[in-house]
Amino acid sequence: MKNVVTFGEILLRLTPPGYEKFVQTERLCASFGGSETNVAVSLAQLGLKSEFVTRLPENPIAEMAINSIARYGVGTSKIVRGGDRVGLYYYENTPSMRESKVVYDRAESSFATSGAGDYDWEKIFRRTDDPSKTVDWFHWSGIGPSLSQEAADATLAAVRTARRMGITVSSDLNYRKNLWRYGKTSYEIMPDIAKECDVLFGTEGEYEKTFGIKPLTDFTMKSDKEELDIEPHREFCEKVMKVAEKCKLMFVALRNVVDASHHVFIGLLMTREGEMLQSKTYMIDPVVDCVGCGDAFAAGMIYGINKYPNDNRQALEAATAAAVLKNTMRGDFNLSTAEEVENLKGGDTSGRISR
């Protein structure tokens, strides 16, 4: 069983019930999530050993957060304690043509105010069951570096330590324009960290915000009956690979939001050797909750690469299937099992009752 460490911020998520708007609701449903947290939970469901690393205060809300992921088998023993508050976000889920809304409240959170000196990466990257060995994989996302210079420094220190220890490093580039508020842009911070990665994932827009390379076309497919012109995407990936010189595998999510309830989704993969692969096309209708879809893709990517080390197509299809399944369940977490991912990857879209 592969050992994976993810690093980032766990957030309290507050959501109006059903499809109520913020201005009308009198209740908020509480759950937990956050990009790197979501990856850790998904990996545990897929059969990998995952550990989540963050910084949390010593209070009951932090204990709730820890319990919310420990119940799914995620290791929490390497979480650092300190700071004053758990970050949170409000999410308004919507159907049809209504636009979803996110409001962040994570300024001065325990994670955002943590720095490189708060984490003993040499120790963190040792396996809990056998400290003489290192973990196999380290995953981070672009959300951490967007929160503060301190969080960016901590991420860079983690990535450099992981590389020095021979650990595979992956990233979900995860650009959130509303989080870059401390005087630096993603162009100033992200390239130095992302260029150290073995595996990268993101939308083409997120690659642009990281490396400054503009996508050559928009993804506008409205059904799974249309054909994708892959050549502009191939050319785009080739340009990114020239900049990200240490990247061995580059994954791309193509999602067209026809409306809030109807998405078209395709996964792409380019290898260092120039092989370009396209997944099956999925028409997701209805979308129950799309938050965490990219995180599910990232977890499926890690699962797929490790399960199919010599078959890039199978790895891509596993990642895409995991992302698609996440759209069918509420909350941040993708609780799909490896069996469910493999069934969808194999073509089972029946939605039948399993008895």
CATH number at residue 258: 3.40.1190.20
Q: Is residue 108 part of a domain?
A: yes
Q: What is the pLDDT of residue 275?
A: 97
Q: Is residue 348 part of a domain?
A: no
Q: Is residue 345 part of a domain?
A: no
CB-count exposure of residue 58 (10 Å: 0-12, 13-18, 19+): exposed
- CA 236 – CA 215 distance, rounded (Å): 6
Instruction: Reply yes or no on whether the pLDDT at 1 is more than 80.
Output: no
Structure confidence by residue, pLDDT tens digits, 107-132 = 999 999 999 999 999 999 999 999 99
Q: What is the pLDDT of residue 348?
A: 79
What average pLDDT score do residues 210-234 get? 95
Q: Is residue 351 part of a domain?
A: no
What is the number of domains present in the chain? 1
Q: Is residue 20 part of a domain?
A: yes
Structure confidence by residue, pLDDT tens digits, 11-54 = 999 999 999 999 999 999 999 999 999 999 999 999 999 999 99
Q: Is residue 53 part of a domain?
A: yes
Which residues have C-beta within 8 Å of that of residue 68, sequence separation ≥ 6?
Answer: 10, 31, 32
Q: Is residue 128 part of a domain?
A: yes
Domain that holds residue 133: 3-339
Structure confidence by residue, pLDDT tens digits, 40-92 = 999 999 999 999 999 999 999 999 999 999 999 999 999 999 999 999 999 99
Structure confidence by residue, pLDDT tens digits, 302-355 = 999 999 999 999 999 999 999 999 999 999 999 999 999 999 999 878 766 454
pTM of the model: 0.96
Structure confidence by residue, pLDDT tens digits, 244-280 = 999 999 999 999 999 999 999 999 999 999 999 999 9
Q: Is residue 352 part of a domain?
A: no
